[in-house]
Amino acid sequence: MNSFSIKIGGEAGQGLVSVGNILLQAISQEGWYLFSHRDYESRIRGGHNFTQFRLADEPVHTLEEAVDVLVALDKATIDRHRQELKEDGVVIYDPSVQGETIDEPGFVAVPFVEVAQDQGQPKVMANAAAAGAIWSLLGDDLERVNGIFAAMFSRKGEDIVEGNKKVAQAGFDRVRDALGHRDMPPKPANAGPQYLIAGNPALASGALAAGVKFMSAYPMTPSTGVTEFIAANGRRCSVIMEQAEDEIAAMNMVVGASYAGARAMTATSGGGFSLMTEAIGMAASAEVPVVVIDAQRPGPSTGLPTRTEQGDLLYGFGTASGDFPKAILAPGDVQEAFYLMGHAFNLADKYQMPVIVMSDQHLADSYETTIPLDMDKVIVDRGEIVSGDEAGPDYKRFALTESGVSPRLVPGSGPALTVAAGDEHDEEGHLVESAEARRAMMDKRMAKMKGVAEEALPPVLVGDDEPELVLISWGSTKGALFETVDKLQEKGQKVKGVHIKQVYPFSQDLEAVLQGPGKKVVVESNYVGQLEKLLGMEFAWKPDGCVRRYDGRPLNPDYILRELEGGGHLG
């Protein structure tokens, strides 16, 4: 792969997001593949944030640590990130913010505000100066960027569009004059139509495509993007998003709505998930399908609210008191985010149980270009539902069946009645105390896990069939994992990559991989090795080594390769 990385750093509220949006659009429209991640603090203004873009001639799903261009809207960007610069790297900075002019090769001073004002434009157009300056490295002219200005600002009037264009041109010229033309990765031919989308909208769209009719949530980073996306499309997609007073209410509203017959979901993170676990257990007992997105962030507790981690797997595995059927899915990229939501709803409906979708800040907030999401591929399977007209007076909500699944009745759909309880109950749903009835109902509920396990999604495998090294990971680490495999293969190593997108129950296909050839290394974003522990539990197995990251930043191939080379973690 041939790629090029740009990092733009600045304070919150300085316009980072605007410059970022322009670049996201421009780069992807220009035809490159793109991956971009935001790194931001838990505050609204100030601090030090950055966005990193990586464009490439091949599909790209992770960042690299070194950057080709550093754009400094604040002083901290250069102080903290200059050592990440590649040889020949370029730094575009604002000398007025930096407090000095830096006379080093590759450093170009662009006083963004001044540039805007020189063009007779207001200060806020400093953003356009930055965008133009950056674009001088990527393109030969500003046509692409100007088109974006037109689309973005036409509602605000022609003056604004033209002002932005002028300022961008001035920024462009400054850098072009200083550095001349730069070679960029080739633009892929025949890439075909692409989407530009981040994890949160992909999850939300997946839910809408699956026919979610009700969502309730309480805002919590990094899940809020899902919530607001659903809310924004309430009218368009006939879905209610009701902001709850707390996560307990959110989850219980969802269970109530699903009991009543609507596909229903929530999204939360860490502490919010804690508050939902009681109702998740209740849904399992009353056999009410629910889908819960847990967008992980570093814990314990409030931890680092805007950072990433894969630290809730063991918690999700335990979920709540007692034994009950459930499944946990962990999308690795926006494609999986979209399609696994549909799968989650189908599993939930088919087995009348909770399904947890584990996202994280890295997935939630990273944009990537990807082939179009196809809603015709989303199949809606509501499982066994019986109407109140068909059911007849002897209908029993929890009729004992071999599969463990009993046809569900939508209340009000006809004369038959449906009774459900979180207490232990008999086939009709009324409370029981006897040992026999308890055993029968446990057997029935847990029988569902047979079906769930049989259709567990297999791991995604890449690389060699007879590997010397097998790298195993889950969820949003997928992109970093697979690129690491590529890089090691390029160096001539025999490597296999194993991406696990269903983390509970595991596909039995994993057994062959774990017992197969090659040293096994589990790669994940947490301290204790949560996937490793679960694999150990299921397969009585221990890996040969591990790569773990727990500083709140996403894994990437450079980090993984360094750890593998360090070898310290190879047991």
Binding-site ranges for its own copies (CB under 8 A) = 41-42, 47, 248, 269-271, 273-275, 277-278, 281-282, 284-286, 296, 298-305, 307, 309, 311-312, 314-324, 421-424, 431, 433, 435-436, 438-439, 442, 446, 526-528, 530, 533-534, 536-538, 540-542, 550-553
Q: Which does 411 bind (CB under 5 to 8 A by kind): ligand SF4, ligand TPP, other proteins, none?
A: other proteins
Read off the tokens for 97. Answer: 């913010």
Q: Which does 44 bind (CB under 5 to 8 A by kind): ligand SF4, its own copies, ligand TPP, none?
A: ligand SF4
Can you tell me the distance from the alpha carbon of 397 to that of 205, in angstroms, rounded to the nearest whole number?
32
Please give the residues from 408 up to 447 whose contact with other proteins meets the rule CB under 8 A. 410-423, 429-431
The bridge status of strand 327-329 relative to strand 502-504 is antiparallel
Q: Which does 546 bind (CB under 5 to 8 A by kind): other proteins, its own copies, ligand TPP, none?
A: none
Q: Which does 551 bind (CB under 5 to 8 A by kind): other proteins, ligand SF4, its own copies, none?
A: its own copies
Read off the tokens for 213. Answer: 């009719």
CB neighbours of 8 closer than 8 A, spacing ≥ 6?
16, 19, 20, 23, 50, 51, 52, 53, 71, 73, 77, 130, 134
CA distances from 450 to 143, 411, 439, 444 (A): 58, 28, 17, 11
CB neighbours of 306 closer than 8 A, spacing ≥ 6?
40, 41, 42, 221, 222, 297, 361
Is 430 or 562 the residue whose CB approaches other proteins more closely? 430
Instruction: Rule CB under 6 A: say whether 44 interacts with ligand SF4.
Output: yes
Instruction: Rule CB under 8 A: say whether 214 interacts with other proteins.
Output: yes
Q: Which does 525 bind (CB under 5 to 8 A by kind): other proteins, its own copies, ligand TPP, none?
A: none
Can you tell me the distance from the alpha carbon of 502 to that of 135, in angstroms, rounded to the nearest whole number?
41
Is 219 or 458 the residue whose CB approaches other proteins more closely? 219
Q: Which does 517 bind (CB under 5 to 8 A by kind): ligand TPP, other proteins, its own copies, none?
A: none
Q: Which does 261 bind (CB under 5 to 8 A by kind): its own copies, other proteins, ligand TPP, none?
A: other proteins
Can you tell me the distance from the alpha carbon of 562 to that of 571, in angstroms, rounded to the nearest whole number?
16
From 286, 355, 500, 503, residue interacting with other proteins (rule: CB under 8 A)? 286
CA atoms within 13 A on the CB side of 27: 32
Instruction: Rule CB under 6 A: say whether 12 interacts with ligand SF4.
Output: no
Backbone angles phi, psi at 60, to 5 degrees: -135, 135
Please give the residues from 30 up to 59 whose contact with other proteins meets the rule CB under 8 A. 30-31, 41-47
Is 421 or 442 the residue whose CB approaches other proteins more closely? 421
- What per-residue string of b and e applies to 188-215 under the rule 16 or more CB within 10 Å gives b? beeeeebbbbbbbbbbbbbbbbbbbbbb
Can you tell me the distance from the alpha carbon of 90 to that of 177, in angstroms, rounded to the nearest whole number?
13
**DSSP secondary structure code for residue 476 in this structure:** G
Q: Which does 296 bind (CB under 5 to 8 A by kind): its own copies, ligand TPP, ligand SF4, none?
A: its own copies
The least CB distance from residue 374 to other proteins, in Å, is 8
Is 44 or 379 the residue whose CB approaches ligand SF4 more closely? 44
- Which parts of this chain interact with ligand SF4 (CB under 6 A)? 44-45
